[in-house]
Homo-oligomer: A and B are copies of this chain.
């Protein structure tokens, strides 16, 4: 066994994730609070915050926060594992992801009733409240990134806001959802499918990686390597998602399985077939690893392990 393999073996993703997931969960728990003017005669804003907590807490793989933290540590391995900027960025990307799920599940979009093993927000609280809670979660993400009087340098705050806004907007996640909406029932080419997912899912996953690097004020060379890694992982995630939609059951997924096929949505499996999709996921994994190999990033253990997890996950 080479010393390289020994080093790899010495890194435990479970141990790495355990510490970081706990910090992320605690931060989300502490920061999604009713920061509402004291003494209000109304309980509604506080009730809205409860809905926001329902949408975010106690669920989710937290892949995006983990990518933020792993990318941050890859650039600044001697730093604390969750410095304030990285923890804020990690939570902010999760809020954007959570808001997109709340809106995506609504009857006018995917009309889904089950998410993370629980009734979706509109099923539990009604459509109007789901709409508002999603809107407020997006705003809260940018609040997380702009703490007044904090140790996070204003220039980092500004760049994080810019990266997140671009990943979430019409040239990112929202634009990808628009493609998704326009594509129902249409035959898509593989190229068109890839473009859809690069925006819909890939932009925020890649944005998470870039934001992690930004927290450590990474060089442009490091940012390029992280960007290439994030692009490959972002696409691999969706390919695997499409595979799991046909191979896993609802209980394992925590959401309705077979939904894409039922909705006549184009997926990698419907366009390429199951086996070719599996090969494509492995090829994207190799691309992600290659981007790290070619980089001068000092510590890429966590990023490599997350790439493995994305491709080999069961849900």
Chain A residues with CB under 8 Å of chain B are 34-37, 40-45, 47-49, 52, 99-100, 103, 106, 108-109, 126-129, 131-132, 134-136, 138-143, 145-148, 154-155, 157-159, 161-162, 164-166, 168-172, 174-179, 181-183, 189, 191-192, 195-196, 198-199
From B49, B131, B168, give the contact of A139 (CB < 8 A): B168
Please give me the 7 A-B residue pairs with the lowest Cβ-Cβ distance, nearest first.
Answer: A45-B175, A146-B162, A139-B169, A108-B127, A157-B158, A142-B165, A136-B174
Taking the closest CB of chain B, its distance from the CB of A92, in whole angstroms, is: 10
What are the residues of chain B within 8 A of A132 when measuring CB–CB? 103, 174, 177-178, 181
Q: Is the interface of A mostly helix, strand, loop or mixed?
A: helix
Contact call B129/A131, Cβ cutoff below 8 A: no
Contact call A139/B165, Cβ cutoff below 8 A: yes
* A165 in contact with B140 given A35-B170, A49-B170 (CB within 8 Å): yes
Complex-state Cα separation, A135 to B157, whole angstroms: 21
Contact call B146/A131, Cβ cutoff below 8 A: no
Taking the closest CB of chain B, its distance from the CB of A264, in whole angstroms, is: 15
Contact call B47/A178, Cβ cutoff below 8 A: yes
What are the residues of chain B within 8 A of A192 when measuring CB–CB? 41-42
What are the residues of chain B within 8 A of A48 when measuring CB–CB? 170, 174-175, 178
Chain B CB count within 10 A is highest, among A106, A162, A189, for A162
Question: Nearest CB to that of A140 among chain B residues?
Answer: B169
Complex-state Cα separation, A169 to B44, whole angstroms: 13
Question: Nearest CB to that of A37 among chain B residues?
Answer: B171
Complex-state Cα separation, A172 to B143, whole angstroms: 12
From B37, B47, B161, B172, give the contact of A158 (CB < 8 A): B161
From B49, B106, B108, B165, give the contact of A146 (CB < 8 A): B165
Contact call A143/B155, Cβ cutoff below 8 A: no
What are the residues of chain B within 8 A of A108 when measuring CB–CB? 126-128, 131
Taking the closest CB of chain B, its distance from the CB of A130, in whole angstroms, is: 8
Complex-state Cα separation, A215 to B154, whole angstroms: 15
From B141, B159, B166, B191, give the contact of A143 (CB < 8 A): B166
Contact call A179/B138, Cβ cutoff below 8 A: no
From B40, B47, B139, B162, give the contact of A195 (CB < 8 A): B40
